[in-house]
Chain A
Amino acid sequence: MSLWLTLAAVALVSAILKAAGPALVASRGLSPSTQVVFAHLPPALLAALIAVQTFADADERLVVDARALGLAAAAAALTLRAPALLAVALAATVTALTRMLL
């Protein structure tokens, strides 16, 4: 029973967190500097998501493992203007091969 209550509470909290920004911030009336900061959230958050999903392990330690190699391969491919799907496939392949060899 407590599992179900926990899940219900997590669902509620998540919904509130998702709703908070759009409910509190009106479409108009943001100061220009606030808009500038909001406009720079995507590179900050995307880079942070990538960094955490690449370098953090399940125990919240920093590790450089097969994932980092895979992402590095994708980054190199994108720098060489490879198509997105090729870069992503390369990331998975390099990660899988590294795990197989190590």
Chain B
Amino acid sequence: MAAMGELLAGARAGLPFALPTFVVGVSFGALAYELGWGAIAPVAASIVVFSASAQFAVASVLAAGGSPGAAVAAAALVNGRYLPMGLAVARWLRGGRLRRALEAQAVVDASWALANRGDGRFDRAVLLGATLPQFPAWVAGTAAGVAAGSAIGDIDRLGLDVVIPAFFLVLLGGELATRRGRAVAALGALIAVLLVPATPAGVPIVAASGAALLGLVARP
């Protein structure tokens, strides 16, 4: 394990994501409850799946009358981004295959983005530690959403749904220092935007990984 102090520093780095994660959790809890999941299943989903995008994908497929298989497939596509994300962090986790596979369970979008140090380096303590505040925030938010139900109204009016992409924008800033970084980011965004209307959710982000091949192009 990373030293406790390093993990705590990683946890501190993750604190800004706790509130927006709680808020998204409230939306998920309220939605799942309204869809008839009961009180326990939404919270259990947040504990064992711990992925907002995959859980919303499951909820929307089932709500539209899709089969369980279709729901699982949609969630798998949405979480397909964990393949390239896992490849990027693989060498920064420790131990044998099993240990690295277990450590990788702590990696989510926010901890991955926060731990990125540029040039392909990742801070392992942040990868693992930044999720410490986010996980309870996600589960507690879901429970609060279940409890409040539709009483919370439209929380999107507070604009909190842009907090997470805005943080990602901050974290992307460091990558834009070089011309290469700007080109890769621009191509990644372009691929994703072009594919949004044409492919199932999740595919645009996985496909945007292709922009990383620009790294092989000789420097101008």
Contact = CB atoms under 8 A, between A and B. Distances in A.
Contact of B91 (A7, A27, A37): A27
Contacts of A6: 58, 62, 68, 71-72
A21 B169 contact: no
Secondary structure at the B interface, as helix, strand, loop or mixed, is helix
29 contacts: A5-B68, A9-B72, A14-B79, A18-B79, A19-B101, A36-B215, A36-B216, A40-B180, A40-B213, A41-B85, A41-B212, A42-B118, A43-B176, A43-B211, A45-B188, A45-B208, A48-B191, A48-B205, A49-B113, A49-B205, A67-B165, A70-B166, A85-B16, A87-B166, A91-B159, A91-B162, A91-B163, A96-B158, A99-B159
Interface string A1-32: 01111111111011101111111111110100
A6 B105 CA distance: 19
Interface in B107-134: 107, 109, 113, 116, 118-120
Contact of B169 (A41, A71, A92, A94): A71
Given A46-B175, A48-B205, A84-B170, A71 B105 contact: no
B143 to A, nearest CB: 16
Interface residues on B, range: 35 or more
Contacts of A14: 49-51, 54, 75-76, 79, 82
B49 A74 contact: no
B91 A25 contact: yes
A78 B177 CA distance: 13
B169 A44 contact: no
Secondary structure at the A interface, as helix, strand, loop or mixed, is helix
Contacts of B85: 21, 41, 45
A53 B164 contact: yes
Given A40-B184, A47-B188, A8 B162 contact: no
